[in-house]
Amino acid sequence: MKLGVITWPGTCDDVDARLAVAKVAEPVALWHGDSDLHGVDGIVVPGGFSYGDYLRAGAIARFSPVMESVIAFARAGGPVLGICNGFQILCEAGLLPGALLPNAKLRFVCRQVDLEVQTTATPFTSTCEVGQRLSIPAKHTTGCFFGDVPSEQVVLRYAPGHNFNGSQDDIAGVVNEQGNVMGLMPHPEHAVDVLTGGSADGLKLFEGMARVPVA
């Protein structure tokens, strides 16, 4: 099982994502300018500030050569996980519904938050239970989710009192209609080891992703 992690200029959490992936699969570094996916079985679009978040978070990165391949891979049913800036990029690319707006208080916030699993009918949450709480850090300025999403596509919601960014209906993570593309604002790759993550709850999403049968 090989999971690719894409790096753009300005991506910051790519190394973290590769460290997390390494706990469940073989990590493969993918480059924004290279449309070759190197035969990976799944793709992580990591967090950071691709192209400095200039113009609009994710708006420039979605035009990179690698994204044409990612879109084709996703349309073919391959698992794609977008984290934070990766979520923003997948929304900009039209792979996920909705959009991310500036936080309600317009400030960057870095905070450990509790999330509640809404559905286990996605590869990513297949190792969780409905209603299970995951403790995962979130850190962003532009994470207020907005959009019309059928409730079956809402995978994670902020637990009561944890929705600091003002997201609609406490939505923290969504999937596409097919359920193979997921985006979330909190950072599961920063919660894979209790030593540095405060919890290892984020590992569940990567374990779920790695369990998807290779097509």
Partner 1 sequence: MSPSPDTTASVPGIENAVALGLTRGEYAMVVQEMGGREPNEVELAMFSLLWSEHCAYKHSKKLLRTLPTEGPAVVMGPGENAGAVDVGDGWAVAFKVESHNHPSAVEPFQGAATGVGGILRDIFALGARPIAILDSLRFGEPDSERSRYLLDRAVAGIGHYGNSIGVPTIGGEVVFEAPYETNCLVNAMAIGLARTEDMVRSAAAGVGNVLVLFGASTGRDGIGGASVLASAELDAEDETKRPSVQVGDPFEESKLVECSLELLQSGLLVALQDLGAAGLTSAASEMAAKGEVGLDLDVAKVPLREADMAPFEIMVSESQERMLCVCEPDKVAGVLALCEKWEVNGTAIGTVTEGKRFRILRGDEVVGDMPVSGLVDDAPLYDLAPEKPSAPLYPAPAAVLGFEADVREALIALLSSPNLASRRPLFEQYDSIVQSRTVRRPEEADAAVLYLYDMGEGAPSIAASIDGNGRRVAADPYWGTVGNALECAANLACVGAQPLGTTNNLNFGNPEKPHIAWQLTEAVRGLGDACRALEAPIVGGNVSLYNEGADGPIYPTPVVGMVGLLPDATRAGGLGFTRDGDAIALVGWDGGEAGEGSLAASELSKLRGEALPDGLPEIDVAQVVGVLDAVRAAVRAGELSSAHDIAEGGVLVAVAESCLAGGRGAALDLGDAEDVWTSLFGERSGGFVVSGPREVLERLGTSVPVSILGTVGGDRLDIAISSLSESWPLAELQDANGALAPLFP
Q: State which of residues 22, 107, 177, 178 lies at the interface with partner 1 (CB under 8 A).
A: 107
- Shortest gap between Cβ of 49 and partner 1 (angstroms)? 5
Sequence-ordered list of residues with C-beta below 8 angstroms from that of 150, at least 6 positions apart, any chain? none
- Extract the tokens encoding 137: 């850090």
Residue 29 near partner 1 by CB under 8 A: no
Residue 53 near partner 1 by CB under 8 A: yes
Residue 202 near partner 1 by CB under 8 A: no
Residue 109 near partner 1 by CB under 8 A: yes
For this structure, is 189 an active site residue?
A: yes
Distance set, CA 88 to CA 133, 151, 174 (Å):
24, 20, 12
- Residues recorded for the chain: 215
DSSP state, 150? -
Q: Which one from 32, 140, 162, 187 is the annotated catalytic residue?
A: 187
CA-to-CA distance for 189 and 137, rounded, in angstroms? 9
- Shortest gap between Cβ of 55 and partner 1 (angstroms)? 12
Residue 94 near partner 1 by CB under 8 A: no
Residue 167, judged by CB atoms within 10 A of its CB (0-12, 13-18, 19+), counts as buried
Q: Please tell me whether residue 157 adopts helix, strand or coil conformation.
A: strand
- Shortest gap between Cβ of 11 and partner 1 (angstroms)? 8
Q: Which one from 92, 116, 189, 207 is the annotated catalytic residue?
A: 189
115: nearest Cα among 175, 195, 170, 169? 170
Residue 9 near partner 1 by CB under 8 A: yes
Residue 38 near partner 1 by CB under 8 A: no
CA-to-CA distance for 176 and 196, rounded, in angstroms? 31
State the Cα angle at 52 between 185 and 113, rounded to 5°.
Answer: 20
Q: State which of residues 22, 34, 52, 55 lies at the interface with partner 1 (CB under 8 A).
A: 52
Residue 116 near partner 1 by CB under 8 A: no
- Shortest gap between Cβ of 138 and partner 1 (angstroms)? 10
Note the residues at the interface with partner 1 (CB under 8 A).
9-13, 15-16, 19, 48-49, 51-54, 105, 107-111, 137, 139, 141, 187, 189-190, 193, 195-198
Catalytic residues: 84, 187, 189
